[in-house]
Chain A
Amino acid sequence: MSILSVHLSRLTRHHFPFSSLLFPSSRPYYHACAPSRRNLRFSVIKRFPFRCICSFPATNSIADRNRNVEVGEEKYDVIVVGGGHAGCEAALASARLGAKTLLLTLNIDRIAWQPCNPAVGGLAKSQLVHEVDALGGEIGKVADRCYLQKRVLNVSRGPAVRALRAQTDKREYAMQMKNVVESTPNLSIREAMVTDILLGKNDNVEGVCTFFGMNFYAPAVILTTGTFMSGKIWVGRTSMPAGRAGESASHGLTENLQRLGFESDRLKTGTPARVDCRTVDFSVLEPQLGDEEVSWFSFDPDFHIEKEQMCCYLTRTTKSTHQLIKDNLHETPTYGGWVEAKGPRYCPSIEDKIVRFQDKESHQIFLEPEGRTVPELYVQGFSTGLPERLQLPLLRTLPGLENCSMLRPAYAVEYDYLPAHQCSRSLMTKKIDGLFFSGQINGTTGYEEAAAQGIISGINAARHSDGKPLIVLERESSYIGTLIDDLVTKDLREPYRMLTSRSEHRLLLRSDNADSRLTPLGREIGLIDDRRWKIYQDKQARISDEKKRLKTVRISGGDLAADVSHFSGQPVKESSTLESLLKKPHIEYKLLDKHGFGNEMLSRTEKECVEIDIKYEGFIIRQRNQLQQMVHQQHRRLPEDLDYYAMTTLSLEAREKLSKVRPQTIGQASRVGGVSPADITALMIILETKRRKAQEVRRHQIRASVMVDTVENLSDTLTEAVGTHKCG
């Protein structure tokens, strides 16, 4: 199998240059104005010498470009609507791939804003950040640059669930990302409220239309509208239309999407109050410090610049907190019954926590700084729908906050989303060619989830506008793949947050191997430059050399052996390899270092990689084998035109659900809620029967056409023969 796929991928690579060579006039503009694309091309040219022969279309396209300017229309390859965490990644990926990209945002000053938690990463989310970085995305780098505090969570619970979390400086984060976006070639920014999608004749997107009547044209459009589509914020019973506090919502787009046949629904999320840190008594609170040894999201060492860390604090709800909430439940939207949209179960408001878990006497509340230069503290775990007049008294029931002053009240936001079963796994919508959805519009929550979708839709929008095959990350390839697969197959009715337990084979999807899983892909796509590629290759070489070394170096007795048998409680055989020592319980690479058997050439993370690969080899191989068995069945493709309603061997519910979701593979079909294993078996039988029938028909046709050919060829030969005869 692996040989075959390598072969296929080679084929594919060879095809790309040809395909663009064959469609010169369809892509007239970027040749003239895409310096970064030229650089990118250069590396392609090295690999495929025959690429050079395509010089003539460039002149053609300049002419085309000039004509377009005369018409006065704004033409791009990709338009990204929204400048949040999905929009930024999407726009950057697209522009870096050489597509002329336009980022439309309601407010340029709020690009990459963190409206809620001033943090990046955390359990399962950090894997997403590492993966986006491994593909050549930006979120990890910016988080590494703007962190206030960093901690590795789940340190002792296994390498697959270990996670990095960074408190970030909200303003610095937005500024840094904005700088990157502004300084990226091929990328233009414009303030605009998009209200409609322009369609072509073949259910394809041609551009967008804005509130003030501008049309922007592109064959690929990515919508990353976040909480802004018909957004409405609530404090207590009072609401106003807004995407978030102080920013106007976007109106009209939902209705127009509905008109195009898209199904939409409402979701709700919330953000807690901010308090002034100068009014908090930290002396009674438990401080939470950052790690002494800082870890990094980005695999690019250029962004590993240590900063002074800030402290977070821990407080708890008290009896009076609980009492105050119980007395005022009727004042909250959920229990008062005036907001119906569903909020996330794993991000519950404080009143939800207290109502649902009555026996828990106290809940942890974290106080997190929002920046180095602002007094604001984020009160994590304390979001509420209570009216503003009750919010300060509620905050003051928390130890340390008895005299606090509130800078911003907590509020909830309700917004439109488009259930993502309307997208395929490339994030392109099934209905409209060239239209992509990313981020909260797909029903997710979290900056990391948004960024992960953003980079994929950005890559695919650029590829779509360039006529290249779209990229789909299979579920088992990454958390990104798992995220998207879940979004498009499961009928989600609450905001989706990434969790490690969502991945069936998470031991293979760790933070430490995100680069060895995805950077080669990033390179192939064109988001990993030569410098970064070399860093990657050198790192892999060092790791693999070190593993070889540990296999060959043997020790007999000595301090190391004594220490190993002491810590592991297991005897150490004569002439043991270092590898076998590392496999023993409680033995870490650090111990080799301590006794001078470590390798100074390796960084801390590289040593960790080596340790994980060796220590857990048995488990990793086992999961890999399980995966291999599963993948075979799961990846069988389903034709797009299946009529599930006609399949009487399927259960009624399966027929309904499958018709709605229209999964692309058997594996996806099996994950659709309400589809039983028996349904899957029945489905496979039907498919196979169909395939055989089609094959039979084709065989007949071929036979028939061969007959015709033979006759035609015969006559051709005859004509030719006659011609030759004449000339002679």
Chain B
Amino acid sequence: MIISENSHTATMALLPSFRTIITRFYRPTKPPPQLIFSSLLFPKKLSSLFPLPPKPQPLKPLASTRQETSFVSNRDERLVGLGSVNDGGSIETQSSTSTIAAIVTSLGGPPAAVGIVRLSGPNAVDIAGRVFSPAKKKKGFDSGSGSWKPKSHIVEYGVVLDSQGNVVDEVLAVPMLAPKSYTREDVVELQCHGSEVCLRRVLKACLEAGARLAEPGEFTLRAFLNGRLDLSQAENVGKLISAKSVAAADAALAGMQGGFSTLVRSLRGQCIELLTEIEARLDFEDEMPPLDVNIIMDSIHAMSQDVEHALETANYDKLLQSGLQIAIVGRPNVGKSSLLNAWSKSERAIVTEIAGTTRDVVEASVSVAGVAVTLLDTAGIRETDDIVEKIGVERSEAVAMGADVIIMTVSAIDGWTLEDTKLVERIRSNMGSASIPMILVINKIDCASSACSDWVNREAKLFSKHVFTCAITGQGIHDLEKSILEIVGLDKIPAGGRRWTVNQRQCEQLMRAKEALVRLKSTIEEELPLDFWTIDLKEAALALGQISGDDISEEILSNIFGKFCIGK
């Protein structure tokens, strides 16, 4: 379709009297070029003779413009229903159509009570509706279809659900509809619990529901582009953003420690290498030896693994910052406090023979493979009438729910008891659908008869791992640490760790690369034609290039020419 930029002719069409003006006053002896002619239409002289409408003409001064132009975009009549791709004429007014999301409160310090995830963009309400479920269902609200219709600036209470429908956090949703918002777009702020884990989970849910992670400063940029900030502020924003984008584009890697940038560059290099091989075969059919699919699959596999490792590192990185919380639970007097003392090599918890000694939650810090681990010793969980102990039990259960890993301790002397079964059931039911990994620790192994193996084998199936310990001698603590590392996925990190930081943006691009590689594998497995391999390979290279700030197309071409003998 032809899109005309210029309403020039329309204006004149509305003024039929012009025709007479022209024929009467302007009789050229020789047809002048169009441009000169039309420029004669609006000189000051004419307008004084024939009063033009006083409104300014929607004309650019012809001296500086040349001829108007129609732009033809991609359109395929066969693809009806898929929407047509074109720019229309209105781009100037709509600079942003995507909906962005980010954690807007600061991270990294001690956890604040409240943290905020902000969504901004035309689909902010839709996306919020997909993840947010208000506690009081209003009439007509259906969380499945995402038809949340909030009133602007009215706070709603509810929960955020992830894509599987699990509750992620309790939140307050604050809708601020356009234009009464910071960015002058629809904005929804989700006020979550302040811990980093909560915030990241909520953000992830939003991204999964269709939002894009905001670039640094993008909310402010939008506020500026949408006229929320005035001109004097805008100049400053301009400087700010350009400084930030320089950092984001080419120094995103350079600023970081070497390891990660090397990895990303090498991965991207491999993608481009593969693309080069494939593209050369597509553009120069006859002159290339056939591709070896096995070699390609191997290298894709290796690349996926590298991406996977980088993502694991991201995970490790997060753990480095926030640490692990491990709750030790169990019946009274199974040696929980002894375990904590032995592990932390301290006398942090009071240990007696009396069941129910520990009434409150006792904390101790240890370091496991460089990760700060907070051990939480809890009151033994049992039915009790003692008011203090009762509160302690409730706290134990709450702590268990908030932990990253739960250690369920039993005594080898007593074996598996009915109380143990009840306790585990209770924890599991409290957990609901969120699954916190549980490790079974069989303590006091030194005092046990050798006949405990059959119940251990039976019950251990319900746990992620089981470990035998003796809190008094410290036996088994090492095994316990190993099990924990395995459960949180840190066992693959080499000793010493990879000391690089992967931020959320990079993590998102790594995910994108990973998904592209997964799709690529299935494309190859389904034996789709060679051309289709390039689509996801390009996607992966683009995602990795986003991290390193490079562009690809020209590079592939020069590679083709440099590497292969092609051409006729």
The 3 tightest CB contacts between A and B, nearest first, are A158-B531, A158-B529, A635-B87
Closest to A670 in B: B551
In the bound complex, residues from chain A placing their C-beta under 8 Å from that of B246 are 678, 682
Q: Is A471 an interface residue (CB 8 A)?
A: yes
Interface contacts beyond A28-B31, A201-B36, A678-B246: sample of 16 additional A-B pairs, CB < 8 Å, sorted by A: A12-B3, A25-B28, A68-B30, A346-B566, A381-B568, A467-B34, A474-B72, A499-B557, A543-B78, A585-B527, A620-B82, A627-B85, A628-B83, A637-B92, A676-B250, A677-B249
The answer to whether A204 and B36 have CB atoms under 8 Å apart is yes
Given A476-B73, A692-B231 in contact, is the A157-B92 Cβ separation under 8 Å?
Answer: no
The answer to whether B67 and A501 have CB atoms under 8 Å apart is no
What are 11 A-B pairs with beta-carbon distances under 8 A?
Answer: A6-B1, A9-B2, A18-B9, A347-B567, A357-B565, A434-B33, A470-B69, A501-B560, A632-B97, A689-B238, A705-B54
In the bound complex, residues from chain A placing their C-beta under 8 Å from that of B528 are 158, 585
A399-431 contact mask (Cβ, 8 Å, vs B): 1 or 0: 000000000000000000000000010101000
Give bound CA distance, A640 to B33, whole Å: 22
The answer to whether A621 and B241 have CB atoms under 8 Å apart is no
The answer to whether B249 and A678 have CB atoms under 8 Å apart is yes
Give bound CA distance, A500 to B557, whole Å: 11
Give bound CA distance, A403 to B12, whole Å: 74
The answer to whether A15 and B9 have CB atoms under 8 Å apart is yes
The answer, among B54, B245, B531, B565, for a CB contact under 8 Å with A507, is B531
Give bound CA distance, A628 to B79, whole Å: 14
The answer to whether B78 and A507 have CB atoms under 8 Å apart is no
In the bound complex, residues from chain A placing their C-beta under 8 Å from that of B98 are 629
Which residues of B does A touch, CB under 8 Å? Answer: 1-7, 9-10, 12-13, 18-19, 22-23, 26-38, 54-56, 64-80, 82-92, 95, 97-98, 224-225, 227, 231, 234-235, 237-239, 241-242, 245-246, 248-250, 279, 281-287, 526-532, 535, 549, 551, 553-554, 556-557, 560-561, 564-568
The answer, among B36, B68, B565, for a CB contact under 8 Å with A353, is B565
Given A5-B3, A516-B77, A624-B85 in contact, is the A500-B34 Cβ separation under 8 Å?
Answer: no
Given A22-B12, A433-B35, A631-B73 in contact, is the A501-B279 Cβ separation under 8 Å?
Answer: yes
Q: Is A90 an interface residue (CB 8 A)?
A: no
For residue B328, give the distance in angstroms from its CB to the closest CB of chain A.
Answer: 49
Give bound CA distance, A345 to B566, whole Å: 8
In the bound complex, residues from chain B placing their C-beta under 8 Å from that of A28 are 31
The answer to whether A158 and B530 have CB atoms under 8 Å apart is yes
Given A469-B2, A619-B535, A689-B238 in contact, is the A345-B567 Cβ separation under 8 Å?
Answer: yes
The answer to whether A22 and B19 have CB atoms under 8 Å apart is yes
The answer to whether A632 and B72 have CB atoms under 8 Å apart is no
Given A5-B88, A501-B557 in contact, is the A712-B54 Cβ separation under 8 Å?
Answer: yes
The answer, among B71, B84, B89, B90, for a CB contact under 8 Å with A474, is B71
The answer to whether A616 and B532 have CB atoms under 8 Å apart is yes
Within 8 A of B (CB), among A116-172: 117, 123-124, 153-154, 156-161
In the bound complex, residues from chain A placing their C-beta under 8 Å from that of B22 are 22-25
In the bound complex, residues from chain B placing their C-beta under 8 Å from that of A620 are 79, 82
For residue B533, give the distance in angstroms from its CB to the closest CB of chain A.
Answer: 9
Closest to B565 in A: A357
Within 8 A of B (CB), among A12-40: 12-16, 18-19, 21-29
Within 8 A of B (CB), among A458-482: 464-467, 469-474, 476-478, 481
The answer to whether A508 and B76 have CB atoms under 8 Å apart is yes
Closest to A60 in B: B23
The answer to whether B69 and A502 have CB atoms under 8 Å apart is no
For residue A507, give the distance in angstroms from its CB to the closest CB of chain B.
Answer: 7
The answer to whether B282 and A161 have CB atoms under 8 Å apart is yes
Given A641-B64, A678-B242 in contact, is the A517-B74 Cβ separation under 8 Å?
Answer: yes
In the bound complex, residues from chain B placing their C-beta under 8 Å from that of A628 are 83, 85
Q: Is A681 an interface residue (CB 8 A)?
A: yes
Given A8-B88, A157-B530, A688-B95 in contact, is the A696-B231 Cβ separation under 8 Å?
Answer: yes
Q: Is A348 an interface residue (CB 8 A)?
A: yes
The answer to whether A471 and B70 have CB atoms under 8 Å apart is yes
Interface size of A in residues (CB-CB distance below 8 Å):
140
The answer to whether A501 and B2 have CB atoms under 8 Å apart is no
A189-203 contact mask (Cβ, 8 Å, vs B): 1 or 0: 000000000001110
The answer to whether B224 and A19 have CB atoms under 8 Å apart is no
The answer to whether B82 and A621 have CB atoms under 8 Å apart is yes
Give bound CA distance, A470 to B34, whole Å: 13
Give bound CA distance, A346 to B285, whole Å: 13
Q: Is A46 an interface residue (CB 8 A)?
A: no
Q: Is A393 an interface residue (CB 8 A)?
A: no
Closest to A664 in B: B69
Interface-central residue, A347, A478, A501, A513, by most chain B CB under 10 Å? A501
Give bound CA distance, A64 to B551, whole Å: 56
In the bound complex, residues from chain B placing their C-beta under 8 Å from that of A363 are 565
The answer to whether A692 and B234 have CB atoms under 8 Å apart is yes
For residue A536, give the distance in angstroms from its CB to the closest CB of chain B.
Answer: 9
In the bound complex, residues from chain A placing their C-beta under 8 Å from that of B32 are 26, 200
The answer to whether A640 and B4 have CB atoms under 8 Å apart is no
Given A13-B2, A688-B95, A692-B231 in contact, is the A681-B71 Cβ separation under 8 Å?
Answer: no
Given A5-B88, A28-B31 in contact, is the A346-B78 Cβ separation under 8 Å?
Answer: no
Give bound CA distance, A64 to B32, whole Å: 12
The answer, among B4, B18, B80, B238, for a CB contact under 8 Å with A12, is B4
The answer to whether B242 and A627 have CB atoms under 8 Å apart is no
Given A25-B22, A640-B64, A685-B241 in contact, is the A632-B77 Cβ separation under 8 Å?
Answer: no
The answer, among B88, B231, B526, B560, for a CB contact under 8 Å with A693, is B231
The answer, among B55, B225, B249, B556, for a CB contact under 8 Å with A501, is B556
In the bound complex, residues from chain B placing their C-beta under 8 Å from that of A689 are 231, 234-235, 238
Q: Is A240 an interface residue (CB 8 A)?
A: no
Give bound CA distance, A28 to B78, whole Å: 41
The answer to whether B1 and A9 have CB atoms under 8 Å apart is yes
For residue B375, give the distance in angstroms from its CB to the closest CB of chain A.
Answer: 47
Q: Is A66 an interface residue (CB 8 A)?
A: no
Give bound CA distance, A433 to B63, whole Å: 12
In the bound complex, residues from chain A placing their C-beta under 8 Å from that of B231 are 689, 692-693, 696
A665-699 contact mask (Cβ, 8 Å, vs B): 1 or 0: 00000100100111001100110110111001010
The answer to whether B34 and A464 have CB atoms under 8 Å apart is yes
Closest to B276 in A: A501
In the bound complex, residues from chain B placing their C-beta under 8 Å from that of A206 are 33
The answer to whether B535 and A2 have CB atoms under 8 Å apart is no
Q: Is A544 an interface residue (CB 8 A)?
A: yes
For residue A116, give the distance in angstroms from its CB to the closest CB of chain B.
Answer: 10
For residue A551, give the distance in angstroms from its CB to the closest CB of chain B.
Answer: 12
For residue A59, give the distance in angstroms from its CB to the closest CB of chain B.
Answer: 12
Within 8 A of B (CB), among A355-371: 356-357, 360, 363-364, 366
Closest to A156 in B: B529
Given A4-B89, A12-B4, A433-B33 in contact, is the A123-B285 Cβ separation under 8 Å?
Answer: yes
Q: Is A276 an interface residue (CB 8 A)?
A: no
Given A8-B3, A692-B234 in contact, is the A586-B33 Cβ separation under 8 Å?
Answer: no
The answer to whether A681 and B535 have CB atoms under 8 Å apart is no
In the bound complex, residues from chain B placing their C-beta under 8 Å from that of A509 are 74
The answer to whether B86 and A1 have CB atoms under 8 Å apart is yes
The answer to whether B527 and A513 have CB atoms under 8 Å apart is no
Q: Is A702 an interface residue (CB 8 A)?
A: yes
Q: Is A609 an interface residue (CB 8 A)?
A: yes
The answer to whether A11 and B69 have CB atoms under 8 Å apart is no
Give bound CA distance, A478 to B76, whole Å: 10
In the bound complex, residues from chain B placing their C-beta under 8 Å from that of A157 are 281-282, 285, 529-531
